[in-house]
Amino acid sequence: MGVTALAAGCSTAVDGQVRPPAPDTAPSLASADPWVVFDGVEECAVLDLGLRPHQFPAARKETAGGSRGCIADKPRFGTAGIVLDALQGLDQVGSDPAALFDGKIHGRRMVLDRESLPSTTGDCAIYLEVSDTARVMINTALSRGTTDQACEFVQQVAAAVEPALPPVSPS
């Protein structure tokens, strides 16, 4: 499937390693318009692509996590979302370092966050690299289920949407 997740405890785990804390860095302002990296990307269509095999209804715009976000709800299963972020790269994922795991999906760098919603179970997020200062977050919160199940599901969605994302921009 092209997914290499380095998350201890996930059923797709491979030689997990805890990610060290990220250094405090500010987003780069190299471009006058950082959002140009996502030109031609429609976030709800990309999320729908990843959720289609799981029979989710169409995604809808949701800006609580960022101005370029979408969410879809499936009754008795849970929610899944996507956020395009042109202002933060993978090094700015702000979570408990013990819950972050580096890996790759189809050769693209990613960070899996096993505790995207602290003090809960059944949630997981993956951040996919677009550039040093841009990323895509795909997350899920299950109505019932474990963090391992959530991470397995979000890895499947991320693997399906990755080919629809812009190629990784050089720094």
What b/e sequence results for 35-46 when a residue is b if at least 16 CB atoms lie within 10 Å of its CB, and e otherwise?
Answer: eebbeebebbeb
Domain total in the chain:
1
Backbone angles phi, psi at 36, to 5 degrees: -60, -25
* Burial classification of residue 32, based on how many CB atoms lie within 10 Å of its CB (0-12 exposed, 13-18 middle, 19 or more buried): exposed
Q: Check which CATH number belongs to the domain holding 157 and give it.
A: 3.40.1000
Average pLDDT estimate for 102-121? 86
pLDDT tier, 99 (very low <50, low <70, confident <90, very high otherwise): confident
What is the extent of the structural domain holding 59?
3-15+37-164
Residue 43 lies in a domain: yes
Q: What is the pLDDT of residues 116-164, one digit of tens each?
A: 766 677 899 999 999 999 999 999 999 989 999 999 999 999 999 999 9
The 10s digit of each residue's pLDDT in 16-68 is: 445 554 544 444 444 488 899 999 999 999 999 999 999 999 999 998 777 89
Does residue 132 sit within a domain? Answer: yes
- Residue 73, in any domain of the structure: yes
Per-residue tokens: 130 = 């677009």
Answer whether 0.75 is exceeded by the pTM. yes
In 3D, which of 104, 88, 75, 81 has the Cα closest to residue 15?
Answer: 104
